[in-house]
Chain A
Amino acid sequence: EIVLTQSPATLSLSPGERATLSCRASEPVSSYLAWYQQKPGQAPRLLIYDASNRATGIPARFSGSGSGTDFTLTISSLEPEDFAVYYCQQRSNLYTFGQGTKLEIK
């Protein structure tokens, strides 16, 4: 099973700041990695797929990069609605999710 490790577990930032979230895979997953956003009481929403492609309707301030084992989700300038939990997911070998990064308001 491919294990995804996300860091940091919690990220405290202020609106307008830049957020950088990391996801590391235990073995190479090529570009088969996605990022999801989950707000309290809601289902996850697909943000980024195939490492760097924004899903439909996702603002341009969200971007993804990486390949192989190391991936990054960047939010260029945080909006109040961006504070949530973010999960990475791989589909190179079945599916697994990371443990999540909570992005909280500082």
Chain B
Amino acid sequence: QITLKESGPTLVKPTQTLTLTCTFSGFSLSTSGVAVGWIRQPPGKALEWLALIYWNNDKRYSPSLRNRLTITKDTSKNQVVLTLINMDPADTATYYCGHSRSPLLWFGPWGQGTLVTVSS
């Protein structure tokens, strides 16, 4: 059974850096074709894809956030880390991680999500 869980701060100040960790089980990010992505959802708004990392360390980023995002993996710990610099109140959202696998590369299952609020 595949499970994922997001963790990190619930409150960050403007201009600070957000670091979120996705800890997963039931699959390995060293297996060919496997990927993990991050998606966020501001309160009451739509989903927004942020980043994706593949088993071979290939990475993809949302063009609108590319200069602020970094995604990395620690295969030995079954973790994927997302870093978002220069946080703004507009970055307040629930952040989700999701499993993906070639050739389909859709997201499922997802973690439960973690709400991050940006406020001074």
A positions within 8 Å CB-CB of B: 1, 34, 36, 38, 43-46, 49-50, 55, 87, 89, 91, 94-100
Contacts and interface: CB of A to CB of B under 8 A. Distances in A.
Interface of B: 37, 39, 46-49, 52, 60, 62-64, 96, 104-113
Contacts of B96: 43-44
B104 A50 contact: yes
B46 A87 contact: yes
Nearest to B112: A43
Contact of B63 (A1, A46, A87, A89): A1
B113 A96 contact: no
B110 A44 contact: yes
Contacts of B108: 45-46, 55
Nearest to B64: A1
Contacts of A87: 46-47
Contacts of B52: 95
A35 to B, nearest CB: 10
A49 B47 contact: no
A95 B49 contact: yes
Given A43-B96, A97-B49, A49 B104 contact: yes
Given A94-B63, A95-B52, A46 B106 contact: yes
The 10 tightest CB contacts between A and B, nearest first, are A46-B108, A95-B49, A43-B110, A97-B47, A99-B46, A49-B106, A34-B106, A100-B46, A43-B113, A87-B47
Give the one of B52, B106, B108, B113 with max A CB within 10 A.
B106
A44 B47 contact: yes
A71 B113 CA distance: 28
Nearest to B96: A43
A94 B112 contact: no
B49 A96 contact: yes
Contacts of B62: 94-95
